[in-house]
Structure 1
Amino acid sequence: MLSFRRCVAHVVVGAAVATTTSIGAAAVAGAEPVAACAQASQNVAIRSTVPLLDWSENFGIDEQGDLWVSRVMRGEVQRYDRAGRLTATVAVPAPGAVRLGPDGLLYVVTGNSPLAGSGGIVRFDPTEADPVPEPFATGFPQPNGAAFDDEGNLYVATGNGLHRLHRDGSEDMDWWAAVSVEGPNGVVIAGDSVYVTANFVADSGPVGRVLRLSRTNPAVATTIADLTSFGSLPDFVDDLVVRDGALYVTTLAGHLVRVDPSTGATCTILSTQPLTAVVADPADPAALLAGSEEGTVLRIRPAD
């Protein structure tokens, strides 16, 4: 998430880099960390043209298997084919999450910047030669992560919490009245579970947390794990994906962390540059794609 919270996290992590060179595995809330963790391999899937300007904030995959990358600094969403070739560009101000809707359209969060003012969600047909975004919902402060459930509801993480939108773009206000998550960032749905990454300041200090809510009973948020980096310092958690029953979470410190949603056990499978988003690779079922602040898109293959 490109936000004030991330700027604060840069200061925290930057101070840690100045005092230590060790990168520890994530701390666990409610379970012991995994003792050993096989390291993932990585290679460049899409290379950055201009570092930072190409900041790859988030991804989406259309029905053709093409990858759409949010270039938040450029104010556009770019389409790449399975060979990594740029094939289309759609202007979207400060784009965040890109998600394929049940209608085959791509839904893009817009206004993912502290300078953008009020944001919202736009949608467009990815099969058109020159897609034109149309408004779907508006009035959200700095929206970022998003996910659809199997009923077509859209969940959006924003600067004032987690929202659920009906298929017509109206908000489920009963759900909104029940849910309470501070500092949500990424969100993914698996069955009845709504998994959320959140960054906020608790009594003990800054926290990067992975939470689980119920779609049918969102009033209770269960902490799965609190992630740390450089010893006990907090890490900024960004996006997440579900793969083979596990959660994979990206962090500001450049970690890709595997989290067992049943036990809370965590394991850092990769330490690299600051990571933003993560999705399943449409071109390789054994791999994940991870975005970075530098702009490069990495192809990551977990060892197990």
Structure 2
Amino acid sequence: MERVVDFAENDSLRRLLGSYDSGSKLIEDEFGVVLISRGSKVKVRGEDSKVLMVEDFLRKMAPLLHKHPQSDDSLVSDAVYAYLNDTNVDLPGLFYEQIKVPSRDADIYPKTSNQKRYVRLMRTCDIVFSIGPAGTGKTYLAMAIAVSSFFSKKVKRIVLARPAIEAGERLGFLPGDFREKVTPYLRPLYDALYDMIPMNKATYLIENGAIEIAPLAYMRGRTLNGSFAILDEAQNTTPEQMKMFLTRLGKGSRAVITGDITQIDLPAGQVSGLVQVQSVLSSIRGIEFIYFSSADVVRHNLVQKIIDAYEAFGRPQAAAPEPVAQTSVDRGKGEGAAG
């Protein structure tokens, strides 16, 4: 089958094809078709179902390429994977859901339909729980909303907390003062923050108390007014710690709690606060839960396959049927047949 899509603008087509035809090659590899471009038109060849799918994808891409200022190659690759995860996705709407961070040169935007809903929930709900595997943007997007809210003066400060739990290994004695001792546990939060705000400016805001990064234990006894609070790695909280964090919120504050309940590092037999809270708070209006899967992974494309492989490996395997014991009658029949 062969279909033709006219982009009307050569520039839009150039952005689709990408530098060194990277976009074109990606589309051909992921959809299993052949693309032939000439002028402002793209010819799609291949199996009927695949050609129709690519035609639909390209028609959805045209308005996105026309208006979106993002770098070409990443835009096309993000759109391809978003479409393959959900062929009914509204690509223009998905990628226009931008998070403006004044300290960054480029806006941040959700890359899957689930991430888009996550962004909307964080903008409209006071407490949001995001649960899912690593690489799905739970912490990064929460940090983006927090920083955006701070610079737009919707909140007065940002509070970032994490339980000081080691991930399956013992770090032993850590030298230095309080900050030096806890920094290894909080490093992922610093990394996300420095991607939003230049290090020198972030350091200034931290020193002045506008941004606070601390272990969860240091939240006890406090009231957080006018704050955007993020609790990361919440699967490693106890039920008591989870309750303590949630009850810190004061007037004008919002909280996002992130975690992966498949990576709990608590002692054996200890209930995770993130697991329990789903039963305790799921029916309360104003509190929302959103669940991510491997389809939402936005790290290296192998990460999604790694998560799927581990999930498949962890599923109970069907037991092999027990061999049927042979009776003397059966053996006799067998011997007769053989003879």
Normalising by structure 1, what TM-score?
A: 0.25
Q: Which has the higher helix share?
A: 2
Question: Bigger relative contact order, structure 1 or 2, given CA contacts below 8 A and separation 6+?
Answer: 1
- Structure 1 or 2, whichever has the larger Rg, is 2
Q: Which has the higher strand share?
A: 1
Normalising by structure 2, what TM-score?
A: 0.23
